[in-house]
Structure 1
Amino acid sequence: MKNKLSIIMTAYNVADYISSSIDSVIAQTNRNFNLVIVDDCSTDETQKIIRSYEKKYDWISVICHKENSGVSTSRNTGLANADGEFVTFIDGDDWVEPNYVDHFLEIFSDKDVDMVTCGFYNQTENGKVKNKIAKHQTSIVGRDEAVKQIIKMTGTVMGYTWNKAYIRSIIEENNLSFQTDLDLMEDQVFNVEYATVARKFYFDNVPLYHYISRKGSITQKFAMENVRDVGVARMKVYKTIRESTRNEKDQI
Structure 2
Amino acid sequence: MESFIKQKTNFPFCVLVVDDCSTDNTVSIVKEYEKRYPEIIKGIYLPENLYSQGRSSEKDIYVNPWRKVSKYEAICEGDDWWIDDNKLQKQYDALEAHPDVDMCACETIKFCDNKEVGRIAPSSITRILTVEETITGGGAFLGTNTLFYRTSLMENIMRFYESCRLDYFLQIQGALRGGIYYISECMSAYRVMAKGSWSSRVVMNCNLCYRHICNVIKYLHVLNVETSCKYQDSIYQRLDALYFLLFEYGVRCSSFDDSIQRLTCWARLKLVFYLIRKFLGRKSQRRKWHII
1:192–1:240 CA contact under 8 A, matched in 2: no
What does residue 179 of structure 1 align with? 161
Deviations 1:181-220 (A, max 9, x none): 547xx11123323433x23431223211100114533312
In the alignment, is residue 126 of structure 1 matched against residue 114 of structure 2? yes
Q: Distance in 2 between matches of 1:178 and 1:51?
A: 33
What does residue 242 of structure 1 align with? 225
Q: 1:135 to 1:102 in 2, by over 3 A?
A: same
- 1:171 Cα shift? 2.4
What does residue 149 of structure 2 align with? 166
**1:240 match: secondary structure:** helix
Q: 1:247 to 1:200 in 2, by over 3 A?
A: closer
**2:158 match: secondary structure:** coil
Q: Distance in 1 between matches of 2:123 and 2:174?
A: 28
What does residue 14 of structure 2 align with? 34
Q: 1:168 to 1:117 in 2, by over 3 A?
A: same
Letter of the 1:192 partner, please give it: I
1:115–1:164 CA contact under 8 A, matched in 2: yes
Q: Distance in 2 between matches of 1:76 and 1:207?
A: 32
Correspondences of 1:91-170 after superposition (within 5 Å): 91-97=77-83, 98-112=85-99, 113-131=101-119, 136-141=124-129, 145-153=130-138, 158=141, 160-170=143-153
Query: What is the aligned counterpart of 1:88 among 67, 71, 74?
Result: 74
- 1:150 Cα shift? 4.6
1:30–1:102 CA contact under 8 A, matched in 2: yes
**1:128 match: secondary structure:** strand
Q: Which runs of 5+ in 2 are unaligned?
A: 232-292
- 1:76 Cα shift? 6.3
**1:91 match: secondary structure:** coil
Q: 1:162 to 1:234 in 2, by over 3 A?
A: farther
- 1:127 Cα shift? 2.9
Q: Report the number of matched residues.
A: 218
In the alignment, is residue 189 of structure 1 matched against residue 169 of structure 2? yes
Letter of the 1:99 partner, please give it: N
Deviations 1:141-188 (A, max 9, x none): 5xxx2253254148xx7265322211112323x2526635547xx111
Q: 1:78 to 1:159 in 2, by over 3 A?
A: farther
Query: What is the aligned counterpart of 1:222 among 197, 204, 213?
Result: 204
Q: 1:237 to 1:79 in 2, by over 3 A?
A: farther
In the alignment, is residue 45 of structure 1 matched against residue 25 of structure 2? yes
TM-score (structure 2 length as normaliser): 0.65
Higher relative CO (CA 8 A, sep ≥ 6), structure 1 or 2?
1
What does residue 41 of structure 2 align with? 60
Q: 1:111 to 1:179 in 2, by over 3 A?
A: closer
2:80–2:145 CA contact under 8 A, matched in 1: no
Q: Between 25-34 and 112-121, report the one with greater CA deviation.
A: 25-34
Query: What is the aligned counterpart of 1:210 among 185, 189, 193?
Result: 189
2:102–2:174 CA contact under 8 A, matched in 1: no
TM-score (structure 1 length as normaliser): 0.74
- 1:79 Cα shift? 4.2
Larger radius of gyration: 2
Q: 1:46 to 1:122 in 2, by over 3 A?
A: same
Q: Which runs of 5+ in 1 are unaligned?
A: 1-21
1:138–1:204 CA contact under 8 A, matched in 2: yes
- 1:241 Cα shift? 3.1
1:120–1:205 CA contact under 8 A, matched in 2: no
